């Protein structure tokens, strides 16, 4: 176990290092120098002004020198300042990360809470009217574009019925978390409705496969109750591919949902990453993308641990137990 | 069922039956919706329209252009003038003609923490502005235009300007800073001042503001809350609280307006014209909608290095073969006036009488024939060498309004035998690289914005053609060179006698219309959606925000 974790940690460090270099190089290659963009609206700016500002922001130094400077500072815990926001990178990331985790965490929990029973129910009655109805619901959820769904929800519940606020983080001057709850309903519903379909289909497909296995027939022949067969035996094995999908989505929990955040004016990581890339705010983009990479790696590590817990044939030693 | 619901909602939206009447907000609070959120708060470190819009409610410049496009004093007591003796020409030590201009700060002007606004703040602001490490983008004003500042007393000071420019009284960009709060921060570390300033680290500090409101709460990316500033010396603003919400998606912004979560959407950074035109048809009776044409000059930039476009007859033919009046009527319902020149007719320096180019396909055909593009093959004109009259037009990808306009232009030019291909790029590529490095092959559709009475030197002077030699400085992307125009642009800066100055402006507009270095299309109209219970919001049409006069806005009744 320790050796396995050490090996994965080492791999993660290499991936993060390569990722940081790749992001730096790619953002530097993007057209539009940040200082030129800053001065584009100032007709009186001279080449000397551009040179002065480039020196001030360290943009006059060679790429590798800038990268090395950033890396050594980052290893010492200094991730620098945002060029756009004039704030330390971590102080910008913190609140956005909290917003994103709240939004996407709730959405994922709700999605799994609905998709698991729905998928299992559909798999137990394949091609029945209930299965067909669930499939229709799933395909509708998968097919509707996120912005369209968000807009429909806003129009229905905020504009027409006026039951819920259309957007924002909470009422102005709100002090308690409960005051923010109504503001979460529509964005969480929008994300959940869009992702339930996919997860339900995964669960249904995985369960259908498992319910046809010999060991299920044997369990039934031994006289085990149907609920025990389905929930304790079939689902446990069906969860392995589902855990893989959830692990891949784990990174997205921290990298945000750009469309939903934009539609509901919910300042989260998706919008921050987009703005930092478009605004050539290298420090923010770099740390945000590295964080998303790190969480994806952590998600995959957790998935590996979950495989061991779910399937006794898998062990950290690499062979079958 | 879901599709049925969607159809029902859409039908409701289209017919205008959806949406309860916007909730009439409590009259002591106004909620404004913008499509941007300011990324930082220092008034001079980086320009951004949303920041300017909000800061105009909490601070005031010394001078600004009002809704009638006249320069006016905001923080000073009176505009300096030669006649009154508060402006006086002087000879600089290097022999150049300069000017010294005296201002008096309004004696009632007080920072939000009770400290008076003084000349010490003026001197500190100048020190910061001209410091090479302060990060100021408008370094030009502080480090080159202003060569010295003399302080007479706590309220009166004299600025010595390097050049005796005709607009000597205007110091709109001199954004005064509170020395008592910012000096220790700046002096401790000038190179990092832009990130350590209290505007970034302590944004709600009342001492940073002296307008009718002060910033009381900032929820980054979401909203800003402004509350009345008890030390404001002007008329008491009508709203106890102003909330500015940022909703970047324009459909969501519109839905928020209908849901009553926001009261108004200003033109400065709000909804695009086409969306508001559609909105007005459905919900116009419940709002007061104002279209304010201004200084955004929508035009087609031409690369005059292109052999076809180097010929002025082709440029004139291109303009004559598009029906801008019809386009304005069809696409903008006549709300966006046709531009005949770079200078807006609303500007004091606009002088009519220059040549104009109404839709005239026959004249366009004649000019193209004269220019040698005589033979039409498959509808496209060719010259004697067999070359096709084929051009490219670029614009900002994703800008729906410009993309539609681009297609109409393409179709109309096709009628004239000019083949035009559409090649669009994201804004940061188009503005950050293609235009700046003059990499566009023939045409680019975008807008210039300027201040009233702005001399278009950077756009039309031959020294402002970006090149590797000048490190891509200047905005004369067309590559336009005319010594006569250069002379007019230079003279306009210092020939201030009213008649002579007006004659120069007339000449500039005539040369422009004769040479057509670019194709004028429209002066963009900014749409304002206001609640019917709100009075006195007067859009300016230029870069000085309407919020500079927020204390005069009034709820009805």
Nearest chain B residue (CA) to A55: B133
Q: Is A36 on the interface with B (CB under 8 A)?
A: yes
What is the residue-averaged pLDDT of chain B?
91
Are A45 and B137 within 8 A, CB to CB? yes
Domain with residue B271: its CATH number is 3.40.190.10
Specify whether B174 is located in the same domain as B314.
no
Specify whether B167 is located in the same domain as B223.
no
Closest CA to B212 of B197, B186, B189, B231: B231
Distance CA B356, CA B365 (A): 17
Q: Is residue B4 part of a domain?
A: no
3-class DSSP assignment, residue B45 = coil
Specify whether B161 is located in the same domain as B226.
no
In this complex, the residue of B37, B138, B255 whose CB is nearest that of residue A155 is B255
CB contact under 8 A, B259 and A140: no
Residue where the block lists tokens 């589902």: A242
pLDDT at A320 over 60: no
CB contact under 8 A, B259 and A159: yes
Q: What is the pLDDT of residue B4?
A: 42
Residue-range definition of the domain harbouring residue B408: 299-524
Q: Is A267 on the interface with B (CB under 8 A)?
A: yes
Domain with residue B426: its CATH number is 3.10.105.10
Q: Is A296 on the interface with B (CB under 8 A)?
A: no
Specify whether B365 is located in the same domain as B510.
yes
Distance CA B526, CA B529 (A): 10
Are B154 and B118 within 8 A, CB to CB? yes
Nearest chain A residue (CA) to B252: A263
Looking at chain A, list the stretches that DSSP marks H as alpha helix, in order from N- to C-terminal side: 2-29, 34-39, 47-56, 63-75, 89-124, 129-143, 146-153, 181-211, 214-221, 226-228, 235-250, 252-255, 258-263, 269-278, 282-310
pLDDT at A139 over 70: yes
Give the residue with greater pLDDT, A144 vs A53.
Answer: A144
Split at pLDDT 50, 70, 90, the class of B10 is very low
- The residue among B161, B196, B231 that closes a domain is B196
The pLDDT tens digits of the residues spanning B314-365 come to 999 999 999 999 999 999 999 999 999 999 999 999 999 999 999 999 999 9
In this complex, the residue of A40, A52, A159 whose CB is nearest that of residue B258 is A159
The pLDDT tens digits of the residues spanning B24-66 come to 545 789 999 999 999 889 999 877 889 999 999 999 999 999 9
Q: What is the pLDDT of residue B25?
A: 46
In this complex, the residue of A81, A166, A169 whose CB is nearest that of residue B259 is A166
- Residue B279: enclosing H or E segment and its boundaries? helix B273-283
Are A276 and A268 within 8 A, CB to CB? no
Give the residue with greater pLDDT, B318 vs B449.
Answer: B318
Q: What is the pLDDT of residue A309?
A: 77
CB contact under 8 A, A86 and B194: yes
Closest CA to B296 of B317, B312, B319, B273: B273
Specify whether B385 is located in the same domain as B478.
yes
3-class DSSP assignment, residue B486 = helix
Q: Is residue B50 part of a domain?
A: no
Specify whether B354 is located in the same domain as B422.
yes
What is the CA A247 to chain-centroid distance, rounded?
10
Specify whether B283 is located in the same domain as B424.
no
CB contact under 8 A, B248 and A52: no
Give the residue with greater pLDDT, B235 vs B5.
Answer: B235
Name the pairing type of β-strands B443-448 and B419-422.
unpaired
CB contact under 8 A, B432 and A166: no
Interface test with B, best of A44, A141, A146 (most B CBs within 10 A): A44
Q: What's the structural domain count of chain B?
A: 3
Q: What is the pLDDT of residue B370?
A: 97
- Residue B31: count of CB within 10 angstroms of its CB: 22
Q: Is residue B436 part of a domain?
A: yes
pLDDT at B23 over 60: no
CB contact under 8 A, B18 and A144: no
Interface test with A, best of B138, B222, B397, B466 (most A CBs within 10 A): B222
CB contact under 8 A, B217 and A173: yes
Enter the tokens of residue B109: 């002007």
CB contact under 8 A, B5 and A156: yes
Chain B positions in Cβ-Cβ contact with residue A275 (cut-off 8 Å): 39
CB contact under 8 A, B2 and A144: yes
Secondary structure (H, E, C), B330-363: HHHCCCCCECCCCCCCCCCCCCCCCCCCCCCHHH
User: What residues contact residue A159 under an 8 Å CB cut-off, 6+ apart?
Assistant: A166, B18, B19, B20, B255, B258, B259
Cα–Cα distance list, B99 to A211, B135, B156, B260 (Å):
90, 27, 17, 52
Nearest chain A residue (CA) to B192: A56
The pLDDT tens digits of the residues spanning B510-544 come to 999 999 999 999 999 999 999 999 999 999 999 89
Q: Is residue B6 part of a domain?
A: no
Chain B positions in Cβ-Cβ contact with residue A158 (cut-off 8 Å): 255-256, 259, 261
Nearest chain A residue (CA) to B225: A172
Residue where the block lists tokens 């770099």: A286
In this complex, the residue of A56, A85, A160 whose CB is nearest that of residue B19 is A160
* Cα of B258 to nearest chain A Cα, Å: 6
Are B218 and B204 within 8 A, CB to CB? yes
In this complex, the residue of A81, A166, A272 whose CB is nearest that of residue B261 is A166
Split at pLDDT 50, 70, 90, the class of B399 is confident
CB contact under 8 A, B458 and A50: no
Q: Is A298 on the interface with B (CB under 8 A)?
A: no
The pLDDT tens digits of the residues spanning A280-316 come to 888 999 999 998 888 888 888 888 888 887 777 777 6
* Cα of B252 to nearest chain A Cα, Å: 6
* Cα of B231 to nearest chain A Cα, Å: 23
Q: What is the DSSP string of A50-109?
A: HHHHHHHTTTTS-HHHHHHHHHHHHHTT---B-TTT-SBHHHHHHHHHHHHHHHHHHHHH
Domain with residue B69: its CATH number is 3.90.76.10
CB contact under 8 A, B137 and A262: no
Q: Is residue B52 part of a domain?
A: no
pLDDT at A319 over 60: no
Enter the tokens of residue A319: 């062979």
In this complex, the residue of B40, B449, B470 whose CB is nearest that of residue A47 is B470
Split at pLDDT 50, 70, 90, the class of A40 is low
Split at pLDDT 50, 70, 90, the class of B20 is very low
* Cα of A36 to nearest chain B Cα, Å: 7
Question: Please, which residues 147-186 of chain A have a Cβ atom closer than 8 Å to chain B?
Answer: 147-148, 150-152, 154-156, 158-160, 162, 165-169, 172-173
The number of helix segments (H) and strand segments (E) in chain B equals 17, 19
Nearest chain A residue (CA) to B29: A172
CB contact under 8 A, A264 and B261: no
Distance CA B529, CA B31 (A): 12
Distance CA A231, CA B186 (A): 66
Cα–Cα distance list, B274 to A181, A235, B335, B419 (Å):
35, 53, 10, 27
Specify whether B95 is located in the same domain as B188.
yes
∠ Cα B103 B109 B112 (to 5°): 140
| Interface contacts (A, B; CB < 8 Å) | 186
Specify whether B138 is located in the same domain as B234.
no
The pLDDT tens digits of the residues spanning B184-242 come to 999 999 988 988 999 999 999 999 999 999 999 998 888 999 999 999 999 999 999 99
Average pLDDT over residues A20-28: 89
Chain A positions in Cβ-Cβ contact with residue B249 (cut-off 8 Å): 147, 262-263, 265
Report the percent of chain B where pLDDT is more than 90: 76
Q: Is A46 on the interface with B (CB under 8 A)?
A: yes
Inter-helix orientation angle B361-370/B312-320, to 10°? 160
Distance CA A149, CA B395 (A): 30
Interface test with A, best of B133, B261, B296, B446 (most A CBs within 10 A): B261
Chain B positions in Cβ-Cβ contact with residue A39 (cut-off 8 Å): 137
Enter the tokens of residue A221: 């022949």
Specify whether B132 is located in the same domain as B215.
no
Q: Is residue B269 part of a domain?
A: yes
The pLDDT tens digits of the residues spanning A60-90 come to 888 888 899 999 999 998 898 888 888 899 9
Average pLDDT over residues B72-77: 96
Average pLDDT over residues B448-453: 86
Question: Please, which residues 227-256 of chain A have a Cβ atom closer than 8 Å to chain B?
Answer: none
Cα–Cα distance list, B142 to A270, B135, B435 (Å):
38, 12, 28
Are B380 and B388 within 8 A, CB to CB? yes
- Residue B33: enclosing H or E segment and its boundaries? strand B29-34
Chain A positions in Cβ-Cβ contact with residue B461 (cut-off 8 Å): none
Interface test with A, best of B136, B199, B342, B432 (most A CBs within 10 A): B432
CB contact under 8 A, A159 and B249: no
User: What residues contact residue B11 under an 8 Å CB cut-off, 6+ apart?
Assistant: none
Q: Is A89 on the interface with B (CB under 8 A)?
A: no
CB contact under 8 A, B255 and A154: yes
Q: Is residue B202 part of a domain?
A: no
Nearest chain A residue (CA) to B456: A43
Inter-helix orientation angle B324-332/B400-415, to 10°? 140
In this complex, the residue of A40, A263, A265 whose CB is nearest that of residue B246 is A265
CB contact under 8 A, A172 and B472: no
Nearest chain B residue (CA) to A138: B2
pLDDT at B14 over 50: no
Split at pLDDT 50, 70, 90, the class of B389 is very high
Interface test with A, best of B428, B446, B447 (most A CBs within 10 A): B428
Specify whether B424 is located in the same domain as B403.
yes
Q: Is residue B14 part of a domain?
A: no
Specify whether B277 is located in the same domain as B405.
no
């Amino acid at each position: 176990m320790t050796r396995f974790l050490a090996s994965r940690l080492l791999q993660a460090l290499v991936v993060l290092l390569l990722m940081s270099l790749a992001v730096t190089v790619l953002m530097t290659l993007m057209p539009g120098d940040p200082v030129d963009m800053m001065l584009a609206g100032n007709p009186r700016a001279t080449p000397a002004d551009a040179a002065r500002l480039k020196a001030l922001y360290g943009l006059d130094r060679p790429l590798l020198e800038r990268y090395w400077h950033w890396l050594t500072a980052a290893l010492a815990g200094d991730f620098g300042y945002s060029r756009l926001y004039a704030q330390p990178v971590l102080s910008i990331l913190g609140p956005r990360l909290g917003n994103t985790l709240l939004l996407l965490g709730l959405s994922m929990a709700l999605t799994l809470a609905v998709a698991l029973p729905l998928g299992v129910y559909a798999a137990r009655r394949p091609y029945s009217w209930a299965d067909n109805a669930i499939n229709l619901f799933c395909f509708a959820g998968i097919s509707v574009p996120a912005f369209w769904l968000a807009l429909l929800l806003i129009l229905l519940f905020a504009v027409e019925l006026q039951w819920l606020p259309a957007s924002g983080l909470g009422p102005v001057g709100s002090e308690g978390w409960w005051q923010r709850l109504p503001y979460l309903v529509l964005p969480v519903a929008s994300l959940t409705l869009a992702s339930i379909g996919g997860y339900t289909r995964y669960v249904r497909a995985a369960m259908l496969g498992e319910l046809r296995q010999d060991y299920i027939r044997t369990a039934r022949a031994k006289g085990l109750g149907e609920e025990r067969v389905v929930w304790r035996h079939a689902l446990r094995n069906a969860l392995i591919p589902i855990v893989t999908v959830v692990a891949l989505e784990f990174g997205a929990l921290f990298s945000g949902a750009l469309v939903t955040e934009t539609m509901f004016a919910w300042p989260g990581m998706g919008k921050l990453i987009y703005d930092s890339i478009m605004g050539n705010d290298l420090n923010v983009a770099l740390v945000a993308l590295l964080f998303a990479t790190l969480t994806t790696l952590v998600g995959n590590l957790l998935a590996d641990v979950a495989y061991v817990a779910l399937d006794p044939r898998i062990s950290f030693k690499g062979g079958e137990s | 069922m879901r599709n049925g619901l969607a159809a029902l909602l859409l039908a409701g939206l289209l017919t205008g039956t959806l949406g309860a009447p916007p909730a009439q907000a409590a009259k002591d609070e106004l909620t404004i919706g913008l499509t941007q959120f300011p990324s930082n708060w220092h008034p001079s470190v980086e320009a951004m329209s949303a920041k300017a819009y909000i800061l105009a409610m909490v601070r005031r410049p010394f001078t600004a252009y009002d809704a009638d496009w006249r320069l006016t004093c905001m923080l000073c007591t009176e505009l300096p003038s030669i006649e009154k003796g508060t402006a006086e020409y002087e000879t600089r030590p290097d022999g150049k003609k300069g000017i010294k201009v005296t201002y008096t700060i309004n004696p009632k002007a007080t920072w939000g923490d009770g400290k008076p606004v003084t000349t010490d703040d003026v001197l500190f602001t100048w020190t910061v502005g001209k410091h090479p490490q302060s990060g100021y983008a408008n370094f030009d004003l502080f480090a080159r235009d202003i060569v010295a500042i003399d302080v007479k007393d706590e309220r009166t000071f004299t600025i010595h300007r390097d050049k005796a420019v005709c607009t000597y009284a205007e110091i709109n960009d001199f954004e005064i800073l509170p020395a008592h709060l910012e000096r220790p921060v700046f002096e401790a570390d000038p190179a990092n001042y832009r990130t350590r300033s209290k505007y970034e680290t302590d944004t709600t500090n009342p001492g940073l503001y002296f307008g009718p409101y002060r910033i009381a709460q900032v929820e980054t990316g979401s909203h800003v809350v402004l509350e009345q500033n008890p030390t404001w010396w002007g008329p008491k603003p009508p709203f106890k609280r102003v909330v500015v919400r940022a909703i970047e998606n324009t459909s969501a912004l519109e839905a928020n307006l209908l849901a009553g979560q926001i009261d108004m959407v200003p033109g400065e950074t709000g909804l695009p014209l086409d969306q508001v035109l559609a909105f007005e048809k459905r919900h116009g009776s419940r709002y007061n909608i104002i279209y304010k044409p201004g200084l955004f000059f929508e035009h087609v930039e031409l690369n005059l290095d292109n052999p076809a476009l180097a010929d002025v007859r082709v440029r004139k033919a291109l303009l004559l073969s598009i029906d801008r009046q019809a386009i304005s009527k069809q696409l903008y319902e006549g709300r966006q006036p046709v531009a005949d020149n770079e200078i807006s007719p609303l500007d004091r320096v606009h002088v009519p009488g220059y040549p104009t180019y109404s839709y005239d396909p026959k004249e366009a055909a004649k000019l193209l024939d004269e220019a040698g593009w005589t033979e039409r093959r498959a509808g496209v004109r060719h010259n004697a060498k067999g070359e096709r009259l084929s051009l490219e037009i670029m614009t900002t990808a994703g800008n729906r309004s410009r993309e539609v306009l681009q297609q109409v232009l393409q179709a109309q030019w096709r009628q004239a035998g000019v083949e035009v291909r559409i090649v669009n790029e994201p804004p940061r590529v188009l503005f950050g690289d293609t235009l700046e490095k003059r990499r566009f092959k023939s045409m680019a559709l975008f807008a210039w914005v300027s201040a009233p009475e702005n001399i278009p030197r950077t756009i039309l002077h031959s020294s402002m053609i970006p090149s590797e030699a000048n490190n891509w400085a200047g905005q004369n992307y067309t590559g336009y060179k005319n010594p006569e125009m250069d002379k007019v642009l230079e003279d306009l800066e210092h020939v201030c006698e009213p008649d002579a100055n007006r004659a120069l402006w007339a000449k500039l507009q005539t040369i422009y219309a004769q040479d057509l270095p670019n194709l004028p299309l429209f002066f963009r109209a900014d749409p304002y959606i206001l609640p019917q219970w709100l009075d006195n919001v007067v859009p300016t049409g230029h870069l000085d925000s309407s919020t500079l006069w927020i204390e005069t806005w009034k709820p009805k009744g």
